[in-house]
C-alpha cells in the first residue's frame, strides 16, 4: 500500500473531509489491503489502535514521573487479575455478581490499592443507604428503641424511639415491644443475623425481575425509617457516613435526600428545615475535625411517582430551602423506580419554574427499555438543563443524547454495583459505561446506595469500573481523570472547586508516594 493510500484510509477513519468539503469515498479495505506488506499492515494496525486509545476517556491526562512509577505498581496488580480472568473467565470477579465475590474482592491486592486512593467525591448517594450494616445493627442497642413485629413476632415491620409503647395508627396491626425484649426473646446471635439480612440485599443475587429487586430494595428504606429518623440518631448516622466515606478515600459528598420530617422522643415531628440544618451543622463539624475534607452539598430529591401538582409543591419547597440554605442546597432531582414512576415530560411545566441558581441532577435512563417514555427521560433531562445525569444506563441507545452531553459537558453518574444489583445487567464487561469511556463521554463513578449492597462507600464501584468496565489498557490516567471529574462536575463554586482540588491533590500526592515506595 502506498503512503498516500494509507493516509487516505486514516483520514477516512478519523472523519476528516477534503478541502472542497466532500467526504472521502469509503475504501474497500478487503481489496485495498491484500497487496500491502506485513510491515505496512502492522503500521496501519498500530495507528488505528493508537487512534482508538487517544479518543478514550482520560487518555489526555498527563502523569508525572512519580505517577508513572506508581502506575507500574497499579498495573501489575490489575494485570494479574486480568490474566487470571482471561485464562479462567469463571474466576474473573467483574464477570460475576458482587454478592458471589464480595469477600474475594476485598482480599484483592488491586482492591487494596484502590481503597487507599483519594477518589475525590461521591456525587450520587442517597441519605438512608450510606452506613455499614455493622453501624446500623449497633443503633438497635440504643435506649428507648421499640420494634414492631408481625407473623407471631417473627417479622420486623418498623422501629420507633419512644419512652413508652408507640401508638401509631398505621401500625395498629403489629405488636410493639422494646428492642431489648425482642433480642432476649429471639437470642442475641439470631437477631444479629436477622438484622443483617433485613438491612441489606446481600446475599440475594437472583431476582425474577428488576421489579422484584426494587421491591426488596424499597422495603429496606421503609424498615429503616423509624430507626434513622429519630433526630439525634439522624445526626449521628450522617456523621458516621462521612466518617466511613473519608476512610474510603472520599473527600466530598453530594447527598440526595427526600428530606423527611424527623421526630423527637416524645413523638413531636420536626420541620424539613430542621433536617437540612442537621446535615449542614454535622458537615461543618466533620470538616472542623478533618480539615482536608472538602465538604458536602445537598440535592433535594423527593419521589417521582406523584401528580404534577405535587411536583409544583416540590419546586416551591426547594426555592424556600435555597433561600434559607443558599450555599448548602445545590440542586433538585426526582427519585424512585423510574420504570414505575411518572416520566419527566409530565412535570415539565412545574420544573420550568425552578430558578437558575438551583441545578437539576436528574435520575434518568436507569432502564433496559428502549424507545419508551422511560428512556426518553434522558431527552427531557438534557432539554431541562440538567448538570449531570443519574445512572444514564440507556444513553448508549441515544446517539443524539450522547453528542449533546459531550457538547454541553454533562457528566453521567455511573453506579456500577447498583446497576447490577437492581438487575440492569450482570457482567460488568457488558456495562454500557464501557461505550462512554471509549467515546470520551464525561462520567463520574458513584455508589448510589452502598449500605444496601454491603459495599464500601466507593471502592467497590471503582474496582468494578476499573477492572471490568474500562479497557485492559486503562491505567492511572483514567483513575486520576475520574477523581478530578468528581470535583469538576460537582455543585461547588469555581473558588470552592479550586480549594477542593488543592485538598485532593495533597492526598493524591501522598498516595502516589506510598505506591512508589511499594515498587
pLDDT band at 12 (very low <50, low <70, confident <90, very high): low
**What was the pLDDT predicted at 8?**
58
The active-site residue, picked from 254, 338, 366, 376, is: 366
The mean-pLDDT minimum among 10-24, 35-49, 99-113, 476-490 falls in 10-24
3-class SS of residue 142: coil
3-state secondary structure of 485: helix
- pLDDT class of 393 with cuts at 50, 70, 90: very high
Percent share of the chain, pLDDT over 70:
92
Asked whether residue 27 carries a pLDDT value surpassing 50, the answer given is: no
The answer to whether residue 33 scores a pLDDT higher than 90 is no
Question: Strand ranges (DSSP E) for 311-378?
Answer: 329-332, 359-364
Cα distances (angstroms) measured from residue 17 to each of 10, 54, 126, 197, 324:
11, 20, 48, 60, 55
d(CA 205, CA 420): 9
| Helical residues (DSSP H) of 88-209, grouped into ranges | 98-106, 109-115, 133-139, 179-186, 188-198
Distance between CA 417 and CA 130 in Å, rounded? 14
pLDDT exceeds 70 at position 145: yes
In a domain, 35, yes or no: yes
Active site residue 97: no
Q: How confident is the model at residue 17 (pLDDT cuts 50, 70, 90)?
A: very low
433 domain residue, yes or no? no
Per-residue CA distances from 116 to 119, 387, 478 (Å): 9, 29, 16
Q: Can you tell me which residue has the cell 475534607?
A: 293
Whole-number Å distance between alpha carbons of 461 and 334: 23
Average pLDDT of span 441-465: 98
Summary mean pLDDT of the chain: 92
Residue 202 has a pLDDT of: 94
Total domains, the chain: 1
H or E element: which one contains 155? strand 155-161
* Mean pLDDT in residue range 61-75: 97
Predicted pLDDT of residue 512? 98
Question: Are residues 51 and 16 in contact, defined by beta-carbon separation less than 8 angstroms?
Answer: no
Q: What is the pLDDT of residue 10?
A: 56
pLDDT at 2: 45
- Is 405 inside a domain boundary? no
For position 77, what pLDDT does the model report?
97
What is the mean predicted confidence (pLDDT) over 244-260? 98
Residue 79: partners with Cβ closer than 8 Å, 6 or more residues away:
none
Asked if residue 425 lies in contact with residue 417, where contact means CB atoms within 8 angstroms, the answer is: no
Note the pLDDT of residue 205.
72
Q: How far apart are CA 84 and CA 159, in angstroms?
A: 46
In a domain, 27, yes or no: yes
How much is the pLDDT for 151? 82
Quote the cell numbers at residue 511. Answer: 498516595
Which of the following is catalytic: 124, 391, 431, 481? Answer: 391
Let me know if 52 is a catalytic residue: no
- Cβ atoms 414, 366 nearer than 8 A: no
Count CB atoms within 10 A of the CB of residue 488: 18
The share of the chain scoring above pLDDT 90, in percent, equals 85
In the 3-class helix/strand/coil scheme, how is 242-308 assigned residue by residue?
HHHHHHCCEEEEEEEECCCCCECCCCCECCHHHHHHHHHHHHHHHHHHCCCCCEEEEEECCECCCCH
The residues, ordered by sequence, that sit 6+ positions from 434 with a Cβ below 8 Å of its Cβ are: 469, 470, 471
Residue 506 pLDDT class (50, 70, 90 cuts): very high
Kindly indicate the confidence band of residue 16, based on its pLDDT and cuts at 50, 70 and 90: very low
Tell me the pLDDT tens digit for each residue of 281-297: 999 999 999 999 999 99
Instruction: Check residue 284 and give its pLDDT.
Output: 98
| Cβ contacts of 475 within 8 Å, gap of 6 or more | 71, 74, 75, 78
Average pLDDT, stretch 363-384?
97
Structural domain includes residue 41 = yes
How many C-beta atoms surround the C-beta of residue 143 within 10 A?
10
Taking only the tens place, the pLDDT of each residue in 200-231 is 999 887 788 889 999 999 999 999 999 999 99
Does residue 382 form part of some domain? no
448, 333 in Cβ contact below 8 A?
no
Chain segment 412-437, per-residue pLDDT in tens: 999 999 999 999 999 999 999 999 99
Residue 497 falls inside a structural domain: no
Q: Does some domain include residue 48? A: yes
Ranking 27-41, 42-56, 172-186, 346-360 by mean pLDDT, the lowest is: 27-41
Least trusted range by pLDDT, from 167-171, 464-468, 504-508? 167-171
Confidence of residue 170 (pLDDT cuts 50, 70, 90): low
Residue 38 pLDDT: 87
**Parent domain of 11:** 3-54
Q: How many CB atoms lie within 10 A of CB 435?
A: 14
Amino acid at each position: 500500500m502506498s503512503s498516500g493510500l494509507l493516509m487516505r484510509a486514516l483520514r477516512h477513519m478519523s472523519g476528516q473531509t477534503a478541502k472542497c468539503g466532500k467526504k472521502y469515498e469509503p475504501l474497500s479495505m478487503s481489496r485495498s489491503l491484500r497487496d500491502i506488506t506485513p510491515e505496512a499492515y502492522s503500521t496501519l494496525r498500530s495507528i488505528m489502535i493508537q487512534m482508538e486509545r487517544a479518543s478514550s476517556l482520560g487518555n489526555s491526562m498527563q502523569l508525572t514521573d512519580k505517577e508513572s512509577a506508581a502506575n507500574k505498581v497499579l498495573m501489575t496488580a490489575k494485570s494479574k487479575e486480568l490474566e487470571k480472568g482471561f485464562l479462567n473467565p469463571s474466576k474473573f470477579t467483574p464477570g460475576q455478581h458482587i454478592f458471589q465475590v464480595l469477600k474475594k474482592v476485598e482480599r484483592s491486592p488491586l482492591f487494596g490499592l484502590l481503597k487507599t486512593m483519594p477518589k475525590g467525591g461521591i456525587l450520587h448517594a442517597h441519605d438512608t443507604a450510606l452506613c455499614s450494616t455493622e453501624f446500623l445493627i449497633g443503633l438497635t442497642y440504643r435506649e428507648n428503641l421499640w420494634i414492631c413485629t408481625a407473623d407471631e413476632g417473627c417479622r420486623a415491620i418498623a422501629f420507633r424511639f419512644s419512652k413508652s409503647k408507640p401508638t401509631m395508627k398505621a401500625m395498629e396491626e403489629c405488636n410493639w415491644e422494646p428492642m431489648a425484649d425482642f433480642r432476649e426473646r429471639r437470642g442475641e446471635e439470631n437477631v444479629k443475623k436477622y438484622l443483617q439480612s433485613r438491612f441489606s440485599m446481600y446475599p440475594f443475587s437472583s431476582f425474577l425481575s428488576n421489579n422484584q429487586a426494587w421491591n426488596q430494595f424499597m422495603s429496606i428504606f421503609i424498615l429503616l425509617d423509624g430507626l434513622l429518623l429519630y433526630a439525634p440518631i439522624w445526626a449521628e448516622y450522617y456523621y458516621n457516613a462521612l466518617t466511613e466515606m473519608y476512610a474510603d478515600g472520599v473527600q466530598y459528598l453530594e447527598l440526595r435526600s427526600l428530606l423527611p420530617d424527623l421526630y423527637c422522643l416524645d413523638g413531636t415531628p420536626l420541620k424539613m428545615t430542621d433536617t437540612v440544618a442537621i446535615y449542614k451543622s454535622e458537615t461543618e463539624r466533620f470538616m472542623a475535625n478533618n480539615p482536608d475534607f472538602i465538604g458536602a452539598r445537598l440535592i433535594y430529591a423527593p419521589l417521582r411517582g406523584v401528580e404534577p401538582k405535587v411536583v409544583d409543591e416540590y419546586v416551591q419547597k426547594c426555592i424556600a430551602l435555597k433561600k434559607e440554605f443558599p450555599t448548602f442546597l445545590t440542586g433538585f432531582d426526582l427519585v424512585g423506580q423510574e420504570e414505575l414512576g411518572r416520566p419527566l415530560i409530565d412535570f415539565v411545566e412545574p420544573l420550568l419554574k425552578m430558578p437558575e441558581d438551583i441545578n437539576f441532577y436528574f435520575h434518568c435512563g436507569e432502564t433496559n427499555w428502549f424507545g419508551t417514555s422511560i428512556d426518553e427521560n434522558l431527552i427531557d433531562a438534557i432539554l431541562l438543563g440538567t448538570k449531570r445525569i443519574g445512572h444514564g444506563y440507556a444513553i448508549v441507545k441515544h446517539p443524539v443524547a450522547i453528542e449533546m452531553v459531550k457538547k454541553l459537558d454533562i457528566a453521567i453518574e455511573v453506579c456500577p454495583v447498583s446497576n447490577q444489583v437492581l438487575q440492569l445487567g450482570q457482567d460488568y464487561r457488558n456495562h454500557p459505561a464501557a461505550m462512554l469511556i471509549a467515546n470520551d463521554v464525561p462520567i463520574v463513578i458513584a455508589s448510589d446506595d452502598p449500605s444496601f449492597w454491603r459495599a464500601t462507600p466507593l471502592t467497590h464501584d471503582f474496582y468494578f469500573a476499573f477492572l471490568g468496565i474500562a479497557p485492559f489498557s486503562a491505567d492511572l490516567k483514567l483513575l486520576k481523570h475520574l477523581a478530578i471529574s468528581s470535583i469538576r462536575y460537582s455543585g461547588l463554586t469555581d473558588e470552592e472547586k479550586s480549594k477542593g482540588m488543592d485538598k485532593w491533590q495533597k492526598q493524591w500526592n501522598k498516595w502516589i508516594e506510598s505506591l512508589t515506595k511499594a515498587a
